[in-house]
Amino acid sequence: MKRLAIIFLLAISTTFLHGQEPLVEKSIINVQTNLLGLWVNYEARVDDDISLRTEIGALTVITGGELWGDENLFNFVYVPVITIEPRFYYNLERRQAKSKNIAGNSGDFFSIKSTLFPGMVLFSNHDAEAIRQLSILPSWGIRRHFAGRFNIEFGLGLGFIINLDPESDASRAGAGGELNLRVGYSFY
Amino acid identity of residue 177, one-letter, is G
Q: Is 157 a residue whose pLDDT tops 90?
A: yes
Residue 4 scores a pLDDT above 50 = no
CA dist., res. 62 & res. 84, Å (int): 23
* Residues 69-120 pLDDT 10s: 556 567 788 999 999 999 999 999 999 999 999 999 999 999 999 999 998 9
- Residues 4-33 have a mean pLDDT of 66
> How far is the C-alpha of 99 from the C-alpha of 119, rounded, in Å?
46
- Whether pLDDT at 160 is above 70: yes
Global pTM value: 0.81
Q: Which domains does the chain have, with CATH numbers?
A: 23-187 (2.40.160)
Mean pLDDT, the chain, rounded, equals: 85
Torsion 130-32-92-95 (CA) sign: positive
